[in-house]
Amino acid sequence: MDIYKTVVIMLIEDDLGDLKLIRMSLREQRIANTPITATSAEEAINYLMRNKTSEIAPMPDLILLDLNMPGMGGKEFLRRIKSDPDLKTIPVVILTTSDSDKDILESFKLQAAGYIKKPVNITDFQEVMQTLTDYWFTICRHINYEPDRQVSKCSDC
Amino acid sequence: MENDGKQVCVLLVEDDPGDQKLIKTALMNQGCEINLTIASSGETAMDYLKMSAEDAVRYSRPSLILLDLNMPGMGGKAFLKKIKADEDLCSIPVVVVTTSDSETDIRECYASHAAGYIQKSAVPEEFRDVLKRLTRYWFSVSALIKS
């Protein structure tokens, strides 16, 4: 059984510095992961709509979504994903600089599966990504993914 | 998460007393103050949520719901669908914590907007470790709507 399946994480982020930081933090994790990157919500929607019935292009096991982006914002993206019968099963976690109560409430109302304020320094960022991947890929079950609770075994991932 | 003076309220919907105790202990060992309400059935949990809508001072509105699936009466999936169809309650994240590893259950729960699907471990030590990771994510990293 392939218990070390690579997980697919879609990053939707317009800030290239943040994108680099997220990718770098994900590389440090104990779980093998392949990030798909979109620098706008439109690009992400196009990818998901185009490939949702395809067996070749990977669909994400988890989406990390920035809120404040030019064009379609994160909340509109979330609204669309969660009303699509094929895409609504993908958990979407908000990763943003905003800590406004309104954004938190609206995001949960739109069925975000977590709301994380971006930490400002690299060490904190890595800790946050560790906790996030621990939760989503060590203990949570996914539709096509069997988690491995014995993460220590996965040190060579 | 920084202590902002607000309280995190958790509603645990679980009929098994042993699991109730394990989850309660894991939650109580967190750094932040948690107000835990335990409901032994989906019906009791719905009643509690109705009371909380009417009197939020006496019955705190939960910031997070931990939900078992297999319970007598209203099952976890019916409860989840009801919560997510309610305009007022749909913003509460619901994490499923169950013994079921059925692919149908996993798919249905995510389609009903569960914010995680966790399989209970039969080994208490392992289950405690799982709960530790769950609480770290929800109470240290993710923001929640507090009352």
* DSSP-derived secondary structure for B80-131: HHHHHT-TTTTTS-EEEEES---HHHHHHHHHTT-S-EEEPPSSHHHHHHHH
Tokens representing B48 are 């509690």
Task: Give the residue carrying structure tokens 């979330």.
Answer: A78
Please state whether the predicted TM-score (pTM) of the whole model is above 0.80: yes
Tokens representing A7 are 């997980």
Model pLDDT for residues B5-20, shown as the tens digit of each residue: 567 899 999 999 999 9
Q: What is the ipTM of this complex?
A: 0.93
pLDDT value for B4 = 53
Model pLDDT for residues B117-139, shown as the tens digit of each residue: 999 988 989 999 999 999 999 99
Give the sheet arrangement for strand A62-65, strand by strand: A33-38, A7-12, A62-65, A92-96, A115-117
A142–B117: do the CB atoms touch at under 8 Å? yes
Residues of B within 8 A of A93 (CB-CB) are 142
Average pLDDT over all residues of chain B:
92
Determine what percent of chain B is predicted with pLDDT higher than 70: 95
Average the pLDDT over B68-93 and give the result: 97
B115–A141: do the CB atoms touch at under 8 Å? no
Model pLDDT for residues A51-60, shown as the tens digit of each residue: 988 878 889 9
pLDDT value for B5 = 53
pLDDT value for A151 = 37
Q: What's the rounded Cα separation, in Å, for the pair A143 and A123?
A: 31
Tokens representing B99 are 């013994």
Instruction: Answer whether A100 touches B (CB < 8 Å).
Output: no
Burial of B130 (0-12, 13-18, 19+ CB in 10 A): buried
A114–B130: do the CB atoms touch at under 8 Å? no
Low-confidence ranges of chain A (pLDDT < 70): 1-5, 145-157
Distance from CA of A71 to the nearest CA of B (A): 25
Distance from CA of A26 to the nearest CA of B (A): 16
Instruction: Answer whether A115 touches B (CB < 8 Å).
Output: yes
Residues of A within 8 A of B119 (CB-CB) are 141
Average the pLDDT over B93-114 and give the result: 97
User: Which residues lie closer than 8 Å to B124 by C-beta, 6 or more apart?
Assistant: B22
Residue of B147 and B1 predicted with greater confidence: B147
pLDDT value for B3 = 42
pLDDT value for A149 = 41
pLDDT value for A10 = 97
Q: Which of B117, B126, B144 lies at the smallest CB-CB distance from A140?
A: B117
